[in-house]
Structure 1
Amino acid sequence: MKNSKPTIHDISKALNINSSTVSRALNNSPRVSKKTKDLILKKAKELGYQKNTLASNLRTNKTNTIGIIVPRISRNFFSSVISGIEERAYIAGYNVVIGQSFESFEREQKLVSTFLSNRVDGLLISISMETTDYDHLENFKNNGGPIVFYDRPVPLKNFASITINDFEASFVATQHLISKGCKNIVHFSGIQKIALYKNRKEGYIAALKKHNIPVNEDYIFEAKLSENDGVEFAKKILKLGNIDGIYASNDTSAIGAMQYLKANGIRIPEDISVVGFNNDPISAVIEPNLTTINQPDFEMGTIACSQLIDLIEKKDVNGQHQSKVLPTELIVRNS
């Protein structure tokens, strides 16, 4: 049975033009004149010709596809990073494939393996909260393509990462609460396996020490920082009874705590002041508006993607495209 899909040979036959010339025109070769190229492209459109991308990829050993692994796409921060990645990838002629780890190391491993099997050209990843082993990532780099980490740094050499200074941002957030008169400040910390949350905890501790405020380990709560985690933390705060400040490592848990505290008669900020992290859109519209740390999420995505594409296309011959630390900003509101 004859293949109903038109081929390069069908275009060649219809125009009486050599098939190699047709192929060059369809690949935008400068060796073909504009007049001939326009004629071939017009006929290709008339016949409904579609380029066989799979065959082309097999010939070039390149798929023009980037894999993205994100902990949770529902988090505004990560969705904004992905928007930045997609914009940059589109301009450069790359497609993106997205997978969510849901903070699971096992899922992350499977996603990396799937991307390797499907021969993506490179990988952008923010590791899960459970990830402490990096063999799957080393394997991808050795057998697949380059990797650029975003948001969550890892203790690996010869890998590029695009992050912020989490220590400094946390120091600023905690010091802001101290400047408002807070002395008994709790910290909502993420899982300490992740360097990002370790650095935020250390920034919190450093600010307390600078102002001669004792560090109380009972004031440091660790979880995956969901909204429900914030509620559970708020229950602990009510039992402690003397808390006057909260510094949360993300806005989601901060808002969960605020809602529970308000429902139980706690005034914010009169009784307890709150600072979050991420500057999620909801932080500007809840009552009271949440003071928070703003991260350049979209910019992080565009820069990370640019770094990866340069590595894929071997424009990083001198190792210039390595880790970058982006600036943050304290957004002061009413909480």
Structure 2
Amino acid sequence: MLPNTTARRLFQNLCRQSKLSKRQNSTASHKPSNIVTKHFDEITVPVPWGHIAGKWYGPKHVRPILGLHGWQDNAGTFDTLAPLLPQHTAFLSLDMPGHGLSSWLPDGQAYHSIDYVVLLRRLMEEFKWDKLSMITHSMSSINGFVFSALFPDKVDMFVGLDVLKPITRNPDKIVDSISTRLEDFIKMEKRMRSKSEPPCYEWEQLVERLHIGTEKSVSVESCQYLLQRNSKPSQHEPHKYYFARDSRLKSSMFYPFSREVPFEMAKRIKCPHLFIKALGGPYYEPKENYDDTLEILKQNPLFEYHEVEGTHHVHLNNPERVAPIINDFISRWRT
């Protein structure tokens, strides 16, 4: 675990860098230069449809803790947290398929939550890992929950941020959601066949759209970390940019689980499990579903629960609030 003074100093330097970048670009309409918060190596991992991109921090001779991001975010979501993790720890922040710098799925394919669970098994096979350690946020926190329940012997440490479990709905809502998303997918495919460039914006407009699009969960200052891997310059409009993630992500198919399924999954998670809830973050479903699952998880003697002030992206906006909790957890389970 980082000493408090070291963690504070790293975070203060990070804040000064962020503010400087903001001042330098306050009147410009161009994308800021690459932001480096801690040294990392860009890596790619082959998969049948292309590659998975990632940022590898720290030593290469040890199995890394995986950093897995939320829906339509990317590996940049951990840019501010990575410098505050223990220096001896290897940390691999990944772009999920269709996000960041990772390959999109082939034409005709739709995104589904279970695919990300399969991806984790692919990574284990590729690197010859016998277990996984994960720090996960939002969508990936859900997928980490599912993976840990399906393969309880393959996880030695699981940290979830803000979203506890798969979101459940009443049966009628599940059926309606599936039909709506299938229709949205077909419409999205038709638009993508035109091969035209997505809508383009001045850099400040792009930042504002991301900030507002997340319901201000991602602060204006933090948008830069996601946009580094989530935007491309326009080929037709100088000094403008567009969102570079796969548009089909908007019609992703999520787990069609009834209320009882996460209860059963929670019973099967046996690994050291840390969950941190942002008090300003949403629940996305009736809170009693969350509370009932939490009570089951607390039966695991290796489960820990913490609450912190902040938005859904508190780990990105205010990493100093979650880093000490995570580092203490790492020090006990990943020495």
Please report the TM-score for the alignment, with normalisation by the length of structure 2: 0.31
The higher relative CO (CA closer than 8 Å, separation ≥ 6) is in: 2
Structure whose CA Rg is larger: 1
Bigger helix share: 1
